[in-house]
Amino acid sequence: MKPLIAILALTAALGQTPAQPRLQKVVLNVTDASGRFIQNMRAEDFIVEEDGTPQKIAAFAQESEAPVSFGLLIDKSTSMRLPLYVEGKTPTPAALLAAAGIGRALVRLMKPQDEFMLMTFDEDVQVKQNFTQDRKKIDDQLYKLNTVGGATHLYESVAKALGRMKKAKHRIRALIVITDAYDTSGKELDDLRPKIAEHEVQVFVCGLRAVYENVDPTAVPLFELVLKTLAGDTGGLALIVDVPELQTTSTVEGLIAFAHIIALNLRGQYTLSYYTDKTTPLSSRAVRVRTIHPNLRVRIRRDAMQ
């Protein structure tokens, strides 16, 4: 009986269709020791390994000219109210003013084929301008941002904003979040992380950190954790700025520089692909990409690996 079972098992195994190799996509950036993005790399400059085994690059492209869909999500909750910036007779929350400034800097870095969506949030998300290629429409809405109010439902708002990014028409998508990062909804950061993973959108976060004498010191590391998690889970970047410094020239220049870094990050992406016969989840495989140039650093967008 046992020989018969063995024969039947062997017959069944031989009858199975072998796993067909599939194309594994990897999206990445390359920077030098100073953090500058490196362009004009070639396929032969990269070494790809999966679970320690070298892989042959089957397709390669640089995304420098690819159009981008930008989504800008600005926190306008009550906690963004201080300090006040007075221009003429109209007081405007400096944090909100800085957020609008970053938005205007990004708009000026847009290419003609790019599109832009503007959203604000407190307890919910408000779409101020749907995706458009008209820079003036975005600019006009940014100049209208001058009031704050409401609680900070950061996690739910980011999730909703990512959902709205599905309407973007371009493959490269980025959500820029400007917030003080103090969620008051009672939700947990871990509730948001699975939702982030559902979307192929890079998240860039500018955190405006309040520095007051009565701030709970334990809130500072939490603030940094929230920002770094939102950005890190998607291959984006995070910038933290102390609120009292918002009106200094160097800080304003730093915020504008962050907008430039976002644009360079998106324009400096490479996409390479290789064939794999692995059927295990991507999270259980070790995919490593490096360059033949030891002074260059490769950063893989894990959210964009398909």
pLDDT confidence of residue 121: 94
Q: Is 215 helix (H, G, I), strand (E, B) or coil?
A: coil
Segments in 171-298 forming alpha helices (H): 189-197, 219-232, 249-267
Q: How confident is the model at residue 213 (pLDDT cuts 50, 70, 90)?
A: very low
Among 106-120, 150-164, 268-282, the least confident range: 268-282
Which tops the pLDDT comparison, 215 or 81? Answer: 81
From 45, 110, 108, select the one nearest 290 (Cα to Cα): 45
- Per DSSP (E only), the strands in 88-184 are 90-93, 115-121, 125-132, 172-179
pLDDT confidence of residue 278: 85
Q: Is the pLDDT of residue 92 over 70?
A: no
Mean local confidence (pLDDT), 102-130:
92
In whole angstroms, what separates CA 120 from the centre of its chain?
17
- Walk me through the domains of the chain, giving residue ranges and CATH numbers: 25-64+282-304 (no CATH), 68-267 (3.40.50.410)
Q: Count of alpha carbons within 13 Å of 59, Cβ hemisphere only? A: 10
Which tops the pLDDT comparison, 20 or 245? Answer: 20
From 97, 234, 222, 135, select the one nearest 176 (Cα to Cα): 234
For 143, the enclosing helix (H) or strand (E) is helix 135-143
Q: Report the mean per-residue pLDDT for the chain.
A: 81
From 193, 112, 209, 192, select the one nearest 153 (Cα to Cα): 192
Which tops the pLDDT comparison, 130 or 93? Answer: 130
Q: Is the pLDDT of residue 204 over 70?
A: yes
What is the distance between the alpha carbons of residues 55 and 77, in angstroms, rounded to a whole number? 49
Label residues 210-234 b or e (16+ Cβ within 10 Å = b).
Answer: beeeeeeeeeeeebeebbbbbbebb
Portion of the chain with pLDDT greater than 90, in percent:
32
Provide the pairing of β-strand 68-75 with 84-87.
unpaired
From 243, 239, 275, 241, select the one nearest 259 (Cα to Cα): 239
Reduce the secondary structure of 80-99 to three states and give it as a string. Answer: HCCCEEEECCEEEEHHHHHH
Q: Is the pLDDT of residue 44 over 80?
A: yes
What pTM does this model have?
0.77
pLDDT confidence of residue 291: 94
Which tops the pLDDT comparison, 138 or 200? Answer: 138
Q: Count of alpha carbons within 13 Å of 254, Cβ hemisphere only? A: 15
What is the distance between the alpha carbons of residues 35 and 296, in angstroms, rounded to a whole number? 9
pLDDT confidence of residue 149: 82
Residue length of the chain: 306
Q: How confident is the model at residue 241 (pLDDT cuts 50, 70, 90)?
A: confident
**First CA to last CA across the chain, in angstroms?**
46
In whole angstroms, what separates CA 57 from the centre of its chain?
26
Among 110-114, 121-125, 300-304, the least confident range: 300-304
Kindly report the backbone phi and psi dihedral angles of residue 221, in degrees, each rounded to the nearest multiple of 5, phi listed first: -65, -30
